[in-house]
Amino acid sequence: MENLTVKQIINADFKISKSSPVLKPFGGAVVVADPSLLTPDVAHDGKWHMFLHTTFGVYHFVSDDGVDFRKVKKVLDRAMRPNINYINGKYYLFYERTRPLIMNGLNVINAVKWKSAIYVTESTDLINWSKPTPAFTDARGYEKSDRGSAISNPFLVLENGINRMYYSCGMTFIKDCGFCEPTYIGYAQSSDIAKGYVSAAKPIISPDKNNPYLNLCSGCLKVYKLRDGYIGIQNGLYEKDGHSHSAIILLTSEDGLSFKFEKILIEPSVVDGKNWMKEFVYASHLVKYGNKLRLYFNARNAADMIKGRECIGFAEAEIK
């Protein structure tokens, strides 16, 4: 990404792939969500690798073309919102570690408090993984709410010898969905990739009642360092006409810490007669492959916790 300019990303015209969705819920789950990918030029075996979560944990899928994915295995229990990285010959998989599944279910009805933090597991072959260890567990109090304590959506950026981790935290209850979404976005830094992250004193993005795409809560943020600046790709949660939604927006920044709105990338819609992204488009991962950009994301067809289903698809744009 670092050889691209901010202007190239701003000018990119993303179109939803006709192959989307590329993954649908499986194994009794109602969601597949939060895709994080390795492209063939990064992975040691020259294939596409996707890490994602369902209700039951984090899974690993592989593909020859980034479209037709097949399941490799379940990697982690008590795990959500993965972020895969390849750094100096080693893979680092960060994720939100939660309480056991039954406790998560009780939190939905507000019978127990939620509790989660960022953990990491390591591998050299994407098959054998180390015992998970805590990477980041404290966001100085603003991760706490009346429903519990949540730190989620890790996304690692290497910044001048320092490891900077962007993350979501807090819990905002979305009434028509029946579950919570992250309230704030912050960042933490460490000289060690796998541990010792210390958060900034306050969030860098908070809900804004005057922002039509951020008037409920902040969702998640993925940040990319380019040749002449930074971009952020965020999915904020917002209310419109009495209903909640999520859209993917493009932000720009000079320092990777202070962001301004640039444009909408993807809004909820029915595409090619398919309603899989009718109400919400959520967490994404932007990757470059050849002369194209692919933005993988998960989307939801309906707000209702029981009726709604989440799938994963992608949008594509040529680099000009």
Handedness of CA 103, 109, 115, 117 (dihedral sign): positive
Supply the pLDDT for residue 161. 85
Contact status, residue 59 vs residue 75, Cβ threshold 8 Å: yes
Decide: helix, strand or coil at residue 170: coil
Go through 100-139 and write b for each residue having 16 or more CB atoms within 10 A of its CB, e for each that does not: eeebbeebeeeebbbbbbbbbbbbeebeebeebeebbbeb
Tokens (6 digits) for 36? 């994080």
Closest CA to 82 of 68, 97, 70, 72: 97
pLDDT tens-digit readout, 221-236 = 999 999 999 999 999 9
Residue 141 reports pLDDT greater than 80 = yes
Residues 297, 299: Cα–Cα separation, whole Å: 7
| 58 closest CA partner among 44, 72, 39 | 72
The domains located in the chain, with CATH, are: 6-318 (2.115.10.20)
161 Cβ partners below 8 Å, 6+ apart? 191
Cα–Cα dist 300/174, whole Å: 14
pLDDT at residue 195 tops 90: yes
- Strand (E) or helix (H) holding 103: helix 101-108
Place of tokens 């969905």: 177
pLDDT, average across residues 37-63: 97
Rounded Cα distance between 233 and 247, Å, is 10
Report helix, strand or coil for 6.
helix
Report the pLDDT value the prediction gives residue 103, as an integer from 0 to 100.
Answer: 67
Phi, psi torsion values for 102, nearest 5 degrees: -65, -35
The DSSP output letter for 132 is P
CA–CA distance, 265 with 139 (Å, rounded to integer): 29
Percent of the chain surpassing pLDDT 90: 92
pLDDT at 1: 83
Mean local confidence (pLDDT), 27-37: 97
